[in-house]
Structure 1
Amino acid sequence: MKEIINTDLAPAPIGPYNQAVKAGNTIYVSGQIPLVAATGELVSGDIALETKEVMKNIGFILQQTGCDYKDIVKTSIFLSDMSLFTDVNAIYGEYFTENAPARETVAVKELPKKVRVEISVIAYKS
């Protein structure tokens, strides 16, 4: 059974997708960018603040499903430039102090709205 997950606390999708889909006990969260849901403004200029906004948006979506960061089993991090890795990784690490999820981090040519970081996650709630 597939359940569509959306919350007003996180940015609305900017295309034909949903914030998340729950299939059984697994939650697939679409890639989040540093967009502030309340204002529609992008956080930019400081990659640490951008990453925190992305993680906050992921948290709001997970909360809608009864999950939180500890339920994440897999993350995918997309960067506009690998030179951002160290700063993004430092903020990311604040959310996973033990039992960190599996992850890949890749640099891509361009991200939506020309942001520098996008993160998607998969969570599991038994």
Structure 2
Amino acid sequence: KFCNLKVCLQCSMCIHFLLSENNGDAMRKRLAPCSRHKPYCKPVKKTIIETTKAPIVPLPFSQAVLAGNTLYLSGQIGVDPVTLQLVPGGLVPETEQIFQNFIAVLEAAGGSLKDVVKVTAFLTDFAEYSAFNAVYMKYFPKDFPARSAAQVVAAPLGAQLEVDAIAIINKC
């Protein structure tokens, strides 16, 4: 075996590696990712996030799951965390409550609405889409997350919408 150099395809950094004399892949191995760019398998820690500041319902799902630094927020409807009842008044107060619940769960995970990268809204009536957008823009006034919206036949408890989200929580 002898020492040789290889060049990272990503950053052109030269790195040493041992190459056996009878290795037929010598040229292919000369161009390879360095340890910084080489894909590697690292176990991702999964943490269940739960807070009493958002509704805790007796159903088989978590308020959120933190996998690595990605937070997956379960779908929320406009349920008050104290009464566990749908807030009255229709889509606007339901939307307000949903985002207040999201804020509570995000804070429990060490994040905020600024960390949200994707939102999915399920509305029972697309005629309410502009009302949803008006409330949405209070919580996301700029640097909008990616978003999808769909009309559904029904939402739990007769709610007018359900919203889920994904956030990146960087704790460095």
TM-score, normalized by the shorter chain, greater than 0.5: yes
1:34 aligns with 2:84: no
Which structure is higher in helix share?
1
Which residue identity lines up with residue 35 of structure 1 in the other structure? Answer: V
Match of 1:4, SS? Answer: strand
Map of 1:79 onto structure 2: 123
Higher relative contact order (CA 8 A, sep 6+): 1
How many equivalent pairs are there? 126
CA drift of 1:13 comes to 3.0
**Equivalent-residue separation in structure 2 for 1:78 and 1:14 (angstroms):** 22
Map of 2:135 onto structure 1: 91
**Equivalent-residue separation in structure 1 for 2:48 and 2:54 (angstroms):** 14
Report matched runs for 1:105-124 at 5 Å: 105-124=149-168
Q: Is the 8 A contact 2:90 2:160 kept in 1?
A: no
1:12 aligns with 2:67: no
**Moved >2 Å (runs of 4+):** none
Which residue identity lines up with residue 98 of structure 2 in the other structure? Answer: V
TM-score, length-scaled by structure 2: 0.71
Percent identity between matched residues is: 38
CA drift of 1:14 comes to 4.1
Map of 1:24 onto structure 2: 68
TM-score, length-scaled by structure 1: 0.96
Which residue identity lines up with residue 31 of structure 1 in the other structure? Answer: G
Q: For the aligned residues, what is the CA RMSD?
A: 0.9
Listed one character per residue, the Cα deviations across residues 93-120 of structure 1 (whole Å, up to 9, x for unaligned) are 1111121100001110111111001110
